[in-house]
Amino acid sequence: MEITNVNEYEAIAKEKLPKMVYDYYASGAEDQWTLQENRNAFSRILFRPRILIDVSKIDMTTTVLGFKISMPIMVAPTAMQKMAHPEGEYATARAASAAGTIMTLSSWATSSVEEVASTGPGIRFFQLYVYKDRNVVAQLVRRAERAGFKAIALTVDTPRLGRRESDIKNRFTLPPNLTLKNFEGLDLGKMDEANDSGLASYVAGQIDRTLSWKDVQWLQTITKLPILVKGVITAEDARMAVQAGAAGIIVSNHGARQLDYVPATIIALEEVVKAAQGKIPVFLDGGVRRGTDVFKALALGASGIFIGRPVVFSLAAEGEAGVRKVLQMMREEFELTMALSGCTTLKEITRNHIVTDWDAPQARLVPKL
C-alpha cells in the first residue's frame, strides 16, 4: 500500500515496534487531553484563500538564525531514535540534510553529537537538558559547538518528567543494547530498571529542578551559540525570554508529554508571537502533520515549525527513506496549500489568510484589511 500522507506511518510503526517503544514515542501525559488537542486545534482554523494570483513560481525558502533552509519545516529533537531503527539519528541527520533543512539532536540521543556530525554536512541544532552537574552541561555544549552544531535549543518545561502512564505500565527503560551516547563517558548513559518509568527515575536523579531564567543567562556565558528557549506557551514567559537574551522561542508543550491540559501549541502561538513583538523569531512545535498545518502556523506568526513524532514513526517504518518521504510530503503539501491560498512567498502568508474559531464573530466574516 502506497503511503500518501504523514499520518499513515504511525500505524506501520505500531505494527513494527515493540509495545514499550511504540508507547514511549506515541503517548502523552496523564489523560492525554493535550495530545489530542495538539492535533484537533488545527481543525478550528479555516482558510480564506485568495484567487486569481499567479502561483506558477513558489518560493518556500527561509532563514532561521541566519541559516538558509529550503522550507520552514524542521526536525524537532526526539530521544533515543535507535529504538525506532538501527541507524537512528544517523538516518534522520542524512534525511534532514538531503531535504535542505535543520535537524535538532536530542540530549538523550542514542548517537553522539560527534557521530551525527560525521554523517556529513547539514545545519544542526542541539537540544539541551540541564543536568545537576553543570560541568556535564558545559562539556556537552562545548562538544556540540566543536561538532559544528549551530544553536542550542534549551528545553525549559522539564524540571520533572510528566506522568506518562504507558511508560509506568511498561516499566519503560532504554533497551540494553543502547546508551544515551552523549553521556556514555560520564557514567550517565544507562538507565536503571525502575518500579515505574526508568526515564522518570533517571530525570529525578539527574535533571536540575532549580533551573531558572538566570541559568539561561549563565548558558550565554559558556557558549557563543544562539539559544532557543523551547517550552514557552505564555505571553509572560515570551517577554522573559526576550529579556533573558534568547535568540528565539519554540512554542512547545513537549509533545503533550509534560503538563496535561495546557493548550495546544497552535492555540498558544499567537499570544507568544504578540508578546515577542517581532524582537525574536517564534517557532511552533507540536501536532503538525499536514502542509495545511504549516501554513496555519505561519499565518499566526510562526517563523517555522518542527515535527517530532512523524520523524520517529517514519524512521521505524522505512529508516532514512521514511524520514526523507515525510519531509518531502510535508514540503509538497505546504507548497500546494500556498498555491491554493494565493501565496508565492512565505512573507505573503498573513493573518487574513485564515479565520479561527476564537476570532470575534464579525472578524470571522470580514477581517480588517
Residue 63 has phi, psi (to 5 degrees) of -120, 140
CA distance 306 to 308: 7
* 112 is annotated as contributing to ligand binding: no
Question: Is 230 annotated in some ligand binding site?
Answer: yes
* Dist. CA 241–CA 213, nearest whole Å: 8
Give me 35's grid cell: 495530545
353 is in an annotated binding site: no
- Beta-sheet strands, E only, within the chain: 45-47, 62-64, 67-69, 73-75, 103-105, 124-128, 151-155, 227-232, 248-251, 282-285, 304-307, 354-356
Q: Does the annotation flag 309 for ligand binding? A: yes
- To the question of whether residue 88 is assigned a binding role by annotation, the answer is no
101 appears as a binding residue in the annotation: no
C-alpha cell at 29: 501525559
The reply, when asked if residue 28 is annotated as ligand binding, is: no
State whether residue 153 is helix, strand or coil: strand
What is the 3 state secondary structure string of 343-363?
A: CCEHHHCCHHHEEECCCCHHH
State yes or no: 254 annotated in a binding site.
yes
Query: Of these residues, 254, 290, 296, 331, which one is catalytic?
Result: 254
24 assigned to a ligand binding site: yes
Report the amino acid identity of residue 153.
Answer: A
37, 264 Cβ separation under 8 angstroms: yes
Asked about 353 being catalytic, the answer comes back as: no
Among the listed residues 245, 324, 323, the one whose alpha carbon sits nearest the alpha carbon of residue 78: 323
For β-strands 151-155 and 67-69, DSSP reports them as unpaired
The answer to whether 79 is annotated as binding is yes
* Residues 312 and 75: beta-carbon distance below 8 Å: no
Residue 308 marked ligand-binding: yes
Mapping DSSP to helix (H, G, I), strand (E, B) and coil, where does residue 106 land? coil
Q: Can you tell me whether residue 234 is helix, strand or coil?
A: coil
164 is in an annotated binding site: yes
Contacts of 320 (CB under 8 A, 6+ apart): 87, 90, 91, 92, 94, 95
Is 127 annotated to bind ligand? yes
Residue 61 assigned as binding residue: no
160 labeled part of a ligand binding site: no
User: What number of H helices and E strands is found in the chain?
Assistant: 14, 12
Residues forming the annotated binding site for FMN?
77-79, 106, 127, 155, 230, 252, 285-289, 308-309
Positions at the binding site for glyoxylate:
24, 129, 164, 254, 257
| Known binding-site residue numbers | 24, 77-79, 106, 127, 129, 155, 164, 230, 252, 254, 257, 285-289, 308-309
Q: Which residues are catalytic?
A: 254
